[in-house]
Structure 1
Amino acid sequence: MWAQHLLTLPARRRGFHLITREVAAAVPELARLRVGLLHVFLQHTSASLTLNENASPDVRRDFERYFNHAVPDGWPAFEHTLEGPDDMPAHIKASLLGPSLSLPVQGGCLALGTWQGIYLCEHRDDGGARRLVLTVQGERL
């Protein structure tokens, strides 16, 4: 079985946001799969996806601090500045983390570890709504 959905997430402030529930809810076919894969693809170049700690908000804030320190807004060496001081850093952060995740499906659910969650990593101050293409494939229950 194959299915594909487009999920548009509302605009979020800059930071690392848990979206696991929104992603799972957008793919009703998950509940009918014995085994499979869910591919999550973000159609943007200034945001990214990652899988990490889902319990402590400190982790998400520390991710944001680290990336802002490693790739600061307004670095004078950047040439691509027409879209604002946070745009080029957002592109670099998005390239470091990546636009997609492939996640296992088992027994009708995402087979994530106890403390794992899907993050939308918003790297712009005003990134706007974000679109995800969710493609699931697998064997029915």
Structure 2
Amino acid sequence: NIENMPLSLASPSQASTAACRRGAPCRLHAIRHASIMAMSAPRRTWLQQRKLDVTASASQQSQAAPASVPVSTVWSQKVIELPPYSRGCHVITRKIYEAMPEIAEFEVGMANVFIQHTSASLTINENASPDVPLDLNDALDALAPESRRYRHSDEGPDDMPAHVKSSLMGASLQLPVAQGRFALGTWQGVYLNEHRNYGGPRRVVITVQGQKRADGRKYSQFIH
């Protein structure tokens, strides 16, 4: 029994263990305890400091961050009436800007251009060469010729072909708005395609959704 063994007959480790069990000071255990305390003390200090650093950083960020300002979305809509056009394809970009100057107030947004007719249409195409609208109209005439026999012919031979062309080209356009104008390419323009010989005035609905300039001013819409 180690507890009853004379310390003079025990090995150093047995003597240390026996002394501890008898309540005597244990030098080995004291050294171990001191080592553990020395190793754990810096770790506790580092963790505490880390928590303090994180808390201070979060506090500084919350104080420095400005309050977010909500940006409201603005809607603007107008129905414009375009004058009668001859049969064919016509660039109307400038006409839209003139009829709805509110577009120039928008910093960024989206515009929907919709024609309220079934014998005319809208499209995007080249706005530079005068041959483009002529060739475009010839191609549409070839796709829906008046010589074909149609069931619907109440308003003349150009009536049903106009409906076909309108469906082929489409009745609306979705256009991005940037700095007060449509974000069109260099050679792009908005076309009104008149498919009747005598179509008369055409109504177009323009709806713009977006954010206006913060200073309330308008952008220039100069078009070459």
Q: TM-score category by the smaller chain?
A: over 0.9
- Counterpart residue identity of residue 87, structure 1: D
The structure having more radius of gyration, on CA atoms, is 2
Cα deviation 1:49-79 (Å, max 9, x = unaligned): 0000000110000001111111101412x10
- CA apart distance, 1:25: 1.8
CA offsets 1:109-129 (integer angstroms, 9 cap, x no match): 211100000000000001111
Structure-2 residue corresponding to 1:137: 209
More helix by share: 2
1:23 aligns with 2:96: yes
What corresponds to 2:113 in structure 1? 40
Q: What does the per-residue CA deviation read over 1:57-109, in whole Å, with 9 as the maximum and x for residues that have no partner? A: 10000001111111101412x10011100000000000000000011110122
Partners of 2:100 and 2:200 lie apart in 1 by 23
Where does 1:1-141 land on structure 2 (aligned, <5 Å)?
A: 1-76=74-149, 78-141=150-213
Give the SS at the match of 1:114: coil
Which has the larger strand fraction?
Answer: 1
Contact 1:74/1:86, CA 8 A, preserved across alignment: no
What's the C-alpha RMSD, in Å, of the aligned pairs? 0.8
* Equivalent pairs, count: 140
Q: Offset of 1:32 from its aligned partner? A: 1.5
- Measured against aligned partners, the alpha-carbon deviations of 1:10-45 in whole angstroms (never above 9, x if no partner) come to 111100001000112222222111110111100000
Moved over 6 A (4+): none
**C-alpha distance in 2 between matches for 1:75 and 1:88:** 10
Same amino acid, percent of matched pairs? 55
State how far apart, in whole Å, the 2-side matches of 1:120 and 1:30 are: 19
- Compute the TM-score of the two structures, normalised by the length of structure 1: 0.96
Give TM-score scaled by structure 2 length.
Answer: 0.61
Alpha-carbon distance in 1 for matches of 2:120, 2:180: 29
Q: Distance in 2 between matches of 1:125 and 1:23?
A: 23
Greater RCO (Cα-Cα under 8 Å, separation 6 or more)? 1
